[in-house]
Structure 1
C-alpha cells in the first residue's frame, strides 16, 4: 500500500542558500525523496512577508509568525497584533517561541519569559497552535505553557531532545514532539531511547534546516529532503518500517493542522 508523503514539520526555507529560483531546487529534491509538505517557521517579524510570499507561491509550503527566544528582534510583542498577523490561510501557527537558557544570561530570562507568554496569548487569540523552542529549560517551558493555557491550542515541541519525564509533561498538555537530525547523532543514545518509548500518535519529524544536518550529512547545510534520514532513523530505533513512520507522523501533522492541504498518497519511500 502506498504511504503518505513525509512532512518536514519545521524548516527555515528563507535561510537556505539558493539561486534566483529559491527555494524550488530544494523543494524539488525533497519531493523526489517523498516529502510532501513543509512548515517554514518564522524567527522574527521582519521575515514574515518573505515567508508569506513563499507560502503563497508554493501550495505545499505553510508558515508561521513569531519571534525566536534568541532572536535579535527586540520589539515588544503585542498579542493582538501578532494574532492579526496570523490571520492568513497559509499561517498555521504562532512561533517559534519559547525559552533558551543557553543563549540568555540570568538577567535575560525574565524578558524571555514575558515574550514567551505574550506569544502563547497570541496563539490563543488566533486559535492556532504554538511552535515551541526549548533549550535548557524543560521545567520552565512546561510550567509557562500550563499557566498560559497553551493546552487550549496545542502545538509542537520542536527539536525535542529532553528526557522521558519532560516528554510526558508536554504530552499531558496535548503537544506533539518533533524529532530532528539530532536523533541520528552518534552521541544521542539517550534521545533514541526516549524516542523508542514515545507514543506514535505524539511524534513528528523535522529538519530545522539549514541547521542540524543529520548523519551522514553532518557539516553540510541541512535541507528539507533530509527529513527522510530522520524518519529512517526513527523507524530503525522503533523497529518499524519507514512507511509506518511516514503514515503516523504525517497523519499527526494534519491532525494538528487540519487547514493545511493534505498530501496525496503514493510517495516514493
Structure 2
C-alpha cells in the first residue's frame, strides 16, 4: 500500500484549479496524499475556500491575510478569525507573516497584521501558518516576543529561509514545512537545515499551484506532488519513504489536532 501523507499547505481556490478540483483530490489520493489543507489568503474569500473543504472530505482549510495583501485588504480582526475558526474543518490561522521581497514598503502594516493573527491563534488554539520572505530578523523577533507574551503553535510554511530563522523557530517549538523548493537540485543547504531539525518538527506541503518539485518543476503544482517532495525529504533524513511518511503524518496530527480529530458526519 502507498504510505499516507498530508499536503499541509495548498491553494485549491486559485483559478489554476477551476473545474478540476474533484479530479485533483482523486489524483492526490492515488499518490497517497490522503488529506490537504487549502489556505485562504484574503479573508473576503473565506466563503469560497470553506465551500471547497465542505465539498471534499479530504480537504481542510485555514484563513488569514497574506502579508503581501496586508496593505491592500481590510485589517484582519481577531474576532473575525475566531468566528471563522468555529467551522469544524477550519484548522489553522493564516497564512500570515512578513514578506519584504516585493512589499517591504508595507512592513509596519504586515507586522500589525501578523500580531493580530498570533492573538487569534492563541485564542483559538489553532496553529499559526507563517509565510516568511526576506524578513528573517523581524520575523524571529516578533515570533519570539509574542511567544513570551503567550504560547501558540506555529508552522513555518514553505520554509526556505536562513538556518538562523530555522533555529529561532525550532527553539520556540515550531515546525518547518518542506515544499518543492527542498527538492530542487541546488537546494542542498536547505535540505541540510531539515536534516538537522528535530524529526518531530517536520511537515510536507506543495504550496500548489506554485513550486512544483521535480519531475514537474516549472509546471502547475498540485497536492499529489507532495509525494515527490516527501521522497526527497526521506532521502535527506536518511529514512525510507514509509518511515518519513509516518513521521510527517504524526507531526501533522500533533500540530493540526483539529484535523486529526475530525470525523465526517
Q: 2:7 is paired with a residue of what secondary structure?
A: strand
Q: How does 1:14-163 map to 2 (within 5 A)?
A: 14-15=13-14, 17-18=16-17, 20=19, 22-71=20-69, 73-105=72-104, 107-149=105-147, 152-163=151-162
Q: Which residue matches 1:260?
A: 259
TM-score by length of 2: 0.92
Alignment match, 1:224: 223
Whether the 8 Å contact between 1:79 and 1:118 is mirrored in structure 2 is yes
Shift of 1:262: 6.4
Deviation at 1:119, TM superposition (A): 1.1
Q: CA deviation at 1:127?
A: 2.1
**3-state secondary structure, aligned to 1:213:** coil
Rounded Cα–Cα distance in structure 2 between residues aligned with 1:256 and 1:3:
23
**TM-score, normalising length: structure 1:** 0.91
Higher RCO, 1 vs 2 (CA within 8 Å, ≥6 residues apart): 1
Q: Answer yes or no: is the 8 Å Cα contact 1:151–1:174 preserved in 2.
A: no
Instruction: Name the structure with the higher helix share.
Output: 2
Tell me, in whole angstroms, the C-alpha distance in 1 between the residues paired with 2:261 and 2:31: 17
Q: Check the 8 A contact 2:5/2:245 in 1, yes or no.
A: yes
Match of 1:167 in 2: 166
Question: How far apart, in 1, do the equivalents of 2:4 and 2:84 lie?
Answer: 29
Q: Equivalent residue of 2:103, what SS?
A: coil
Q: Counterpart of 1:94 in 2: which secondary structure?
A: strand
Aligned-CA RMSD value: 1.8
CA contact (8 A) 1:5 1:246 kept: yes
Provide structure 2 residue ranges, at least 5 long, that are not aligned to the other structure: none
Residue 185 of structure 1 pairs with residue 187 of structure 2: no
1:267 is matched with none
Measured after TM superposition, the shift of residue 238 of structure 1 is 1.8
Q: Is the 8 A contact 1:178 1:206 kept in 2?
A: yes
**Structure 1, residues 100-138: CA drift from partner, whole Å, max 9, x if none?**
010213x32111111111111122222211100001112
CA drift at 1:80: 1.7
Q: Aligned partners of 1:200, 1:26: CA distance in 2, in Å?
A: 29
Q: CA deviation at 1:16?
A: 5.2
Gaps of 5+ in 1: 264-269
